[in-house]
Structures are given as C-alpha cells and as structure tokens.
Structure 1
Amino acid sequence: MRDVNIWSEEFGAATGAPILLIMGSMSQGVLWPDEFVGLLAAGGRRVIRYDHRDTGMSDTVDFAADPYTWDDIKNDVHRVMDAHGLESAHLVGHSAGGLLAQLIAVERPDRVRSLTVIASSPLGGGEGEVLVRALTNQPQPPGSLPEPTPEFVSYFQAQMTAPPPQDRRARIDGMIAEQRVLHGTGLPFDEDAARRLQERVHDRARDLSAAANHRLAAAANPDFEPVDVLHRVTAPTLVIEGDHEPVKPGHGAIIADRIPGARLLTVPGLGHTLPPETHDHLTTAILDHTAE
C-alpha cells in the first residue's frame, strides 16, 4: 500500500495542551467549525484538525489498486500525532471519529491524555448493522443499539434509489438536505450557513466521490471493532450526546456506562452536527475536561 499524505492544520499556542479532533466517516476536518476550534484555542489549547484519507485535501486513493481498511484510517490518527510531534494528546472524536478514539484509548493508552466522544456509538456495539437493518426494514435483534429516528431512516431510504446529482449546485443542495436531517429538530436550521459550509466542503475536496471508499474500507475490515473492551479504557472520558440525536440516539449513555468513571453530558437541542448555539456549552465542557 502506498503512502498517503494527510492534510492537517493547528491552532493556538504551541505550548498549550494538545487536542486532536477526529471527525467521522467520510467527513472532512473542516466540519469541526472554525468558531468551535477558535474557542478551544482561546481556552489555551493547541488544537489540531485533519482530513481523513479520501476526504478534503488529503490524498485520494485508487481503492481497487491500493485497498485499505479502517485499521489504516485509525493508524492515520497516529501519523497525524507523530507529524505534529505529539507523544500523546487529548482525543476528541465525533461519530465514527469517536469509535477511532475509543479504540486508540483501548490499544494505546499511552497516547491518550483524555477521551471525549461526541455523537458516537460504543465500540463493538454493532452500530453499522443496526443502521443497515433500519434502512432495509429488518427487525432488530434483542439487545441491539437504539435505532436512528424515523426521519433519518426515511431520508436515507429515499437516497438509496435517488439518481446521483449531476452538477455542483445539485450536489451542494443534496449535501445541505443531508445536513438538515443530521441537524435534528432541536434547534433552528440555518440554511444560509449550511450552504456556505457545504460549498467549502465541496470545493476543497480533491475528489468528492472518493469518500465513499470509507464504506469499502469498512467492508474489508469487518472485525475492526472488538467487543467488550471498553472496560479497559483508563483515560478520563467525557461522553457528549444531544437530546435530539437522529443517528445514534441513546448510544452515548451506553458508552458512558461501559467506560469506568466516564461522565455523560446531554446537550439540549444538539443533533448530529455542531451548530453555533451549542459551541459555548461544548467547548466549556471540553476545556474543563482537558485541563491539566
């Protein structure tokens, strides 16, 4: 497998306690909002965000010629830390980025000063299978994680048969529609701000379609998430979930229950995105959690 260049950037004082922000599957680092990042940096932290391989300005991969797995995506986290000269950092992961952070906290506790998991699922909980069953109208076995909301399911069921958009405007309109569903119903949706964000995401991508390789990587790595290991996490852990989470409702409480000493923070109005109305609440909690 060839080397892959990963784009990253950092904010704040180089002497600050380092926070590494890990975004979810198929998502660029700029989905960590600038204001959110700025508040963390203003709180004295050295903040790093990056684009996963096959997203944004990081290298894209010919998956047929150079296949990779989610283990490789996880190892990119270590590569970013190494590139910034960090032996350890406070890991903050969103959605699938939270799964990556959980696994690193299990495997390499020496690299994790603290763990913050936002809008994520418990490692080894079978969230992918729950989602597939929900989208294909299959019954969930007893003990499965809570399902996504009906609004989320109906939207993505429609997308499964919709023709792909053919031009920039149509692609961005589709990205805004998806963001609206992920935003949830707890707070007003700012369509103008969503358009500015999705135009940025669209225009800075080397190849927007390459992000779909993350699905292929997951299929090639079915055993990526070990089960019954969260009790091994020793890093101080903060779990954050919104009370309007549409994708993984109630999953945060399960994570907090399985990690010894973990604290659960429920944020009013928060869905599966990071809107401005929640930034003060989120960053205050993270700054307190990462105080050294």
Structure 2
Amino acid sequence: MTTRVRANGIEIAYETFGSPGDRPLLLIMGLGAQMIHWDEEFCELLAERGHHVVRFDNRDAGESTHLDDAGTPSSGGGSPYRLGDMVDDTAGLLDALGWESAHVVGASIGGMIAQEMAIGHPRRVRSLTSIMSTPGHAVAPPTEAAMAVLMAPPPPDREAAIRQALSTWETLGSPGYPMDRERIARIAGLGYDRGHDPAGTARQLAAIMASGDRTALLGEVTVPVLVLHGEADQLIPVAGGIATADAIPGAELVTFPGMGHDLPRPLWPDFADAIGELTASAER
C-alpha cells in the first residue's frame, strides 16, 4: 500500500516490504524512473534476507511532488535543483519513517543520490550499495546509441509510451539476458498512469549536470560499500562503477558480463545475496 508523507517541503510516496524489526533498507531509483521499477518480487527477496525495505518515488517522478512550476530546463540553462536537494528529500523521508539511519541502495541517478548522502549525511547511512552509477557525469559518458535514447522526444500517449519503453530497453537493456517484454510493457503502462512527466525527467537530468564530481569527496566515506555494475552498460559504462569503487576506500566492486543498464531478473538473487551480506556485515 502506498503511503505519502511530507519531507523537505514536498510530498513523497513510498511503500514498505518486510518486518519493521529487520535491518532498514532504502531503495533509490534512477532517472525518470519510479519506485515500481524496484520490482515487488525483488523487494520481497531483499525482505527475505532480513531487511525492512522501503521503495519511494523521487521528486518529479510517480506519485511524489512534481515541480511543475519550474518548467522544462532549456538547453544550456540552469537547473531548478541539484542532487543535494534530492538527498535532502531522502533524509527527510528517513525522518518521516522514524529511521535514524538506513542501509542505502541506489541505482543510476539513485546511486548518485546515495553517494552524496553518504558524503553529506554520513550518520544516516549504515552501508552504501551503488548500482550502475558513477561519481560524476563526465567519468563514463553514454554511448551514442544511449544518448539518442536519452534525448528521444517524449511519447504523445500511453501506447506510444509503452512502445518507447520497449525500444529503449532494446538498446539499454542487458544483451546477455532475455528481454522480458511483457514486464517492460506492464511497468511502462503503470508508470504512465502513475505520473508520466517528461519535464520532470528533464529536471532530474539537469540536476545531474548541475552537480559536481564526487570523486574526491567519496574518499571520505567510511561505511561499508558495494558497487554493482553491468559490463554491457551503454548509458553509464562500467568505467563509472570502477571509478566509484576506486574512489571509496575498501569498496567492493562486482561486475556482471552481459548486464546493461537494467536489473535483469535472473540476477535478482545475486543482487539480494550481495546486499544482504553487506548489510549483515555492516551491522556486526
């Protein structure tokens, strides 16, 4: 069941899985993506490994607040907010949940937010898992094919949004794993219904571009860190994961052949096991 709370001056929609007595685990999704992109089955796998899981919609996505008055960022123009503001949203959500700290898992832009949170709010982060992310947007630039997907015009209606999602993941998905077209179409349709917002996605992208490189600051992170990355990622190539792990003392890097810029279902048990081992060791 979706719950909404006020945090950092906006409304954030979230859902929970597992027992409140288990290790708190916060999942942060990527660019323009919604909490439903953390599949319920994957969240249940994490819960089975001893976590109280929270997934949520970032600002400008899904059922959380959309900053419509900010408009669409123009090319070369400024950003109405930065990643640091999204970090403050996330910290505010922890406050609303009554969590002093949590194990934080972020994918893509979610990984960037999680990294900044470990830097700026170190006492709120028990462990950090950075998935298919990077310490800076210039570290691992997208391929030409991925950039074309990123810059594609927004779809005019729901059916077009589903077709575009299928086309997007044909390019950005994992070539080493079967493409689950039914799941992609279902989530694309649900996402369109929950909060389709191309301007909001553009504002999130502008926040990435307006935020600085984190490489030097990541050297100050002292919590246990796991970095997961696909070796076939075209949107944030594996160099981004390598750079993240290299920047953080003691970070563990695990790369996956054939994995692109998505979370292939056959790898969910591996991800859940690795995250569970990290959080359990951090608690000890």
Q: Distance in 2 between matches of 1:204 and 1:99?
A: 24
Which residue does the alignment assign to 1:62?
68
Partners of 2:128 and 2:83 lie apart in 1 by: 20
Match of residue 252 from structure 2: 263
SS of alignment partner, residue 274 of structure 1: coil
Q: Which runs of 4+ in 1 moved over 6 A?
A: none
Alignment-derived partner of residue 227 in structure 2: 239
Which amino acid in the other structure matches residue 17 of structure 1?
A: R
> Which whole-Å deviations, capped at 9, do the CAs of 1:27-63 have from their partners, x for residues lacking one?
2111111111110011110000100111101121233
Pairing 1:8–2:26 present? no
Letter in 1 for 2:217: V
Higher mean C-alpha deviation, range 25-34 or range 11-20? 25-34
Give the match for residue 191 of structure 2.
201
**1:1-150 superposed matches below 5 A:** 3-64=9-70, 67-122=80-135, 125=136, 127=137, 130=138, 145-150=139-144
Give the deviation of 1:148 after TM superposition. 2.8
- How far apart are 1:184 and its partner, in Å? 3.2
SS at match of 2:219: helix
In structure 2, distance between residues paired with 1:275 and 1:27:
16
CA offset at residue 216 of structure 1?
Answer: 4.3
- The verdict on how the C-alpha distance between 1:194 and 1:206 changes in structure 2, with shifts beyond 3 A counting, is closer
Partner Cα separation in structure 2 for residue 114 and residue 10 of structure 1: 19
Please report how far the alpha carbon of residue 285 of structure 1 lies from its aligned counterpart in structure 2 after TM superposition.
0.5
Indicate if the aligned counterparts of 2:19 and 2:47 stay in contact, CA closer than 8 A.
yes
| Among candidates 129, 145, 161, match of residue 151 of structure 1 | 145
What is the rounded CA distance, in whole Å, between the counterparts of 1:107 and 1:69 in structure 2?
A: 14
**Partners of 1:57 and 1:206 within 8 A in 2:** no
| CA distance in 1 between partners of 2:29 and 2:164 (Å) | 20
Alpha-carbon offset, residue 156 of structure 1: 4.5
2 CA distance for matches of 1:277 and 1:109?
Answer: 33
RMSD: 2.2
Residue 281 of structure 1 deviates from its aligned partner by: 0.9
| Letter of the structure 1 residue corresponding to residue 10 of structure 2 | V
- Alignment: residue pair count: 266
Q: Which amino acid aligns with 1:70?
A: L
Structure 2 CA distance for partners of 1:226 and 1:257, relative to 1, 3 Å: closer
In structure 1, stretches of 5+ residues that fail to align are 131-144
Secondary structure of the 1:21 match is strand
1:209–1:67 Cα change, 3 Å: closer
Contact 2:215 2:247 in 1 (8 A): no
Query: What is the distance in 1 between the residues matched to 2:191 and 2:11?
Result: 18
Task: Give CA-to-partner distance per residue, 1:57-104, whole Å, 9 cap, x none.
Answer: 112123338943332211111011111111000010101111111111
Do 1:33 and 1:274's aligned partners in 2 also have CA atoms closer than 8 Å? no
Partner SS for 1:63 = helix
Distance 1:64 1:196, change over 3 A: closer
Match of 1:289 among 269, 278, 284: 278
Secondary structure in 2 matching 1:278: helix
The percentage of counterpart residues that share the same residue type is: 39
- CA-CA distance at 1:287 after TM superposition: 0.6
State the secondary structure of the residue aligned to 1:196: helix
- CA positional deviation for 1:208: 5.5
**2:208 & 2:233 partners in 1: Cα distance?**
23
Deviation string 1:125-158 (CA, Å, 9 cap, x unpaired) is 3x1xx4xxxxxxxxxxxxxx3443353245456x
Distance 1:226 1:150, change over 3 A: closer
